[in-house]
Amino acid sequence: MLLAEQRRLLCEYGHRTAEAGLVVGTSGNLSVRDGDLVAVTPAGAALGRLKPEDCPVVSLDGHPVEGDRTPSSETPLHLAVYRATTARAVVHTHAVFGTVVATTMTELPPVHYNTVLLGGVVRVAEYATYGTPELAAHVEAALDGRRAALMANHGGVTIGDDLEAAFEATRLLEWLCEVYVRAKAVGEPRVLTGEQLAAAARRARRPAHLPRPGDGTARPDHPPHIHT
């Protein structure tokens, strides 16, 4: 079976996506790229009940390569992301708080500094019918320089170097959306400025050096050495 390990991982993370409540029924889809091939979840499938043989393999131009099931209707979106980015995995969900934000906002207001872990302020891609080239183009634009995007009146999509990274980005995206929605119910959330986000991003690249036992004082921060 082609991409046997990748298809197994699709099932593992499909099950985790369903268990986390990030999808309902047969909504949502995942894919993973290996070279010029992509394993993707099938159309009309409940992610919590996937088996490896359920997941078809297609080429980067969308031609079927192996598998009896029809690829997800959002396969054009996944393939567009792979052609436009260095991503090796894509997760698309209809998570509740992400969808709430996607139906009301043009971007997710950055109320927490962990926004920088997704590459910056999360954009909401313009609405288009699911499974169409138009939607794929809108999402591709919204993902420019980002690891996550919301899709107007639809859901969210995240990317990563592997399925674990893409799945964790989905969890973070939903958490950020929930924080914003719940904060909005209490009052007007304080939104971080571009300067504050940039400072958080710089801080993330310069981890603190804790004092060694007996030093008595903390060592100054130094940027990590980059091996080339």
User: What is the domain partition of the chain in residue ranges?
Assistant: 4-186
Under 8 Å between Cβ of 94 and 155:
yes
State residue 227's pLDDT score.
39
Under 8 Å between Cβ of 168 and 92:
no
Q: Give pTM, 2 decimals.
A: 0.90
State residue 121's pLDDT score.
98
Which residues are designated catalytic?
74
In percent, how much of the chain has pLDDT > 70? 90
- Give tens-digit pLDDT for 77-125: 999 999 999 999 999 999 999 999 999 999 999 999 999 999 999 999 9
- DSSP-derived pairing of the beta strands 29-34 and 89-93: antiparallel
CATH number of 4-186: 3.40.225.10
State residue 206's pLDDT score.
84
- Give tens-digit pLDDT for 34-58: 999 999 999 999 999 999 999 999 9
When pLDDT is averaged across residues 136-158 and rounded to a whole number, the result is 98
Q: Which residues of 116-129 are buried (b: 16+ CB within 10 A; e: fewer)?
A: bbbbbbbbbbeebe
State residue 85's pLDDT score.
97
- Give tens-digit pLDDT for 180-206: 999 999 999 999 999 999 999 999 888
Q: Give the sheet arrangement for strand 64-66, strand by strand.
A: 64-66, 57-59, 37-40, 29-34, 89-93, 155-160, 148-151, 124-125
pLDDT at 11 over 60: yes
Q: Which position has the higher pLDDT, 209 or 148?
A: 148
pLDDT at 136 over 70: yes
